[in-house]
Amino acid sequence: MTDRLLHGIDARTDDLVALTADLIRFPTVNPPGEAYRPCAEYIAERLKKRGFETELVRGEGTPGDNDRYPRVNVVARFDGRTPGPTVHFNSHIDVVEAGEGWTVDPFAGVVKDGRVYGRGACDMKGGLAASIIAVEAFMDAYPDFPGAIEISGTVDEESGGFGGVAYLASKGYFSKPKVDHVIIPEPLNKDRICLGHRGVWWAEIETLGEIAHGSMPFLGDNAVRHMGAVLAAFEADLFPALDKKQTSMPVVPEGARRSTMNINSIHGGQTEDFRPGLPSPNVPDSCRLTIDRRFLLEERIDEVKREVTDILDRLKRERARFDYRIRDVMEVQPTMTERDAPVVKAVAEGIMQVFEREPAYVISPGTYDQKHVARIGHLFDCIAYGPGILDLAHRPDEWVGIDDMVQSAKVMAIGLNVLLRGGAR
Ligand SMILES: [Zn+2]
């Protein structure tokens, strides 16, 4: 149907590979937020050559922002000949640290066996490159297109997105009338559309005690033993209850189709830093536990919190000297774009044309920047769609398949054509 457009993408395969490798060579490791500015400038330079208006936007004063590690985002916009909707492709440029176990240099952009290797290859510099190629091919095929196209490279997704999409959304970059449709090329596999994600509640629970000499623990009150009682109650009551809560959201992998809670950390007792390896001689008067609760569209956050505080309050009634504090660390509401939303239908059309089958619709177990687009930008026509295998993200020898990138660039280009030109040839 759109042969000219699809051939244009095939013809750009080498460019797509080179662009992906170039992006990987910027070691945009977060934390601390390395090489953000040169990476953002590189993207801006490329798009400027194609006539985009480009802007570098620093997330001033956001977590981690300082002159050594400025949170520099790039936003590029191209207005078509006539008015129409705006389609925005948003990719994060930050990557997690390389870690151990690599057989190739994680920041060399190694190309072999039909794959591009490197930290961020799949999550998500391959997706960013595919979206740029899709847009460039679309502009060449249909130079008179109506509406506008935006491409952004944003920072800090891996640490919550505060200096990136959240900051931009707070400045109106992800709201109507500036933007109508958002595609985030996260690595959810080339034939799947990700409609949203589960909710998150992170909290820190602290049990309180009273310090005393370790030889006479009966004179104090042991906060670690109190936390042991909390953990025992969680094991007995909370975890089995969470396991029973199933969702109708199509979360992948299937194990995440229920409520989950991770215990991220536990810290109790006096510091051992001043003489490493030696235990503290005291009865601990504080123990802190961090929980990471992922919840479902069917749950309400106040109920999610109450399940935990009910257990803590029960211990307070039943257990001598038990006392606690609880502090919210992070809250994200679950979000799910409707299946008949325009951006979903447009990308589904692309998947059907390229793969000749219906897309799979999925929900991500963890969150990504869509939360800020929905919550701050109040824009709900947003999905994640991009090449790459989710399980490879954050792992050693991360890679993205060249064929996968080409195919998903075609899907994105067809989606763009549906949204801006009604799918005309
Ligand atoms: Zn990602």
Same domain, 60 and 179: yes
Residue 237 among the catalytic residues = no
Residue 93 confidence class, pLDDT cut points 50, 70, 90: very high
Residues 210-243 as b/e (b if ≥16 CB within 10 A, e otherwise) read ebbeeeeeeebbbbbbbbebbeebbeeebeeebe
Mean predicted confidence (pLDDT) in 295-316: 97
**Which two three-digit tokens encode residue 263?**
């215990």
Q: Which two tokens stand for residue 28?
A: 């945009």
Q: Do 306 and 278 belong to one domain?
A: yes
CATH for 286: 3.30.70.360
pTM: 0.89
Identify whether residues 338 and 384 lie together within a single domain: yes
pLDDT of residue 280: 76
Considering its fold, how many domains does the chain have in total? 2
348 shares a domain with 287: no
CATH number at residue 409: 3.40.630.10
If you measure from the C-alpha of residue 130 to the centroid of ligand 1, how many angstroms do you get, rounded to a whole number? 14
Cα-to-centroid distance, 197 and ligand 1 (Å): 13
Q: The domain containing residue 134 runs over which residues? A: 3-197+334-421
Q: Which residues of 22-81 form beta strands (DSSP E)? A: 53-58, 72-79
pLDDT at 1 > cutoff 70: no
CA of 220 to the centre of ligand 1 (A): 47
Active site includes 136? no
Is 171 strand, coil or helix?
A: coil
| pLDDT tens figures, 57-79 | 999 999 999 999 999 999 999 99
**C-alpha pair distances (Å), 109 with each of 17, 27, 106, 126, 415:** 9, 11, 7, 11, 28
pLDDT tens readout for residues 310-329: 999 999 999 999 999 999 99
Residues 406 and 344 grouped into a single domain: yes
234 in the same domain as 382: no
**How many angstroms does the Cα of residue 53 sit away from the middle of ligand 1?**
25
Catalytic residue among 157, 186, 191, 381: 157
Measure 184 CA to ligand 1 centroid, in angstroms. 9
Catalytic residue among 34, 65, 94, 285: 94
pLDDT 10s digits, 396-406: 999 999 999 99
Rounded to the nearest whole angstrom, what is the distance from the C-alpha of residue 368 to the centroid of ligand 1? 7
Taking only the tens place, the pLDDT of each residue in 179-217 is: 999 999 999 999 999 999 999 999 999 999 999 999 999
What is the Cα–Cα distance from 424 to 416, expressed in whole angstroms?
11
Q: Is the pLDDT of residue 275 over 90?
A: no
* CA of 187 relative to ligand 1 center, distance in Å: 7
Helix-helix angle 402-421:126-141, to 10 degrees: 50
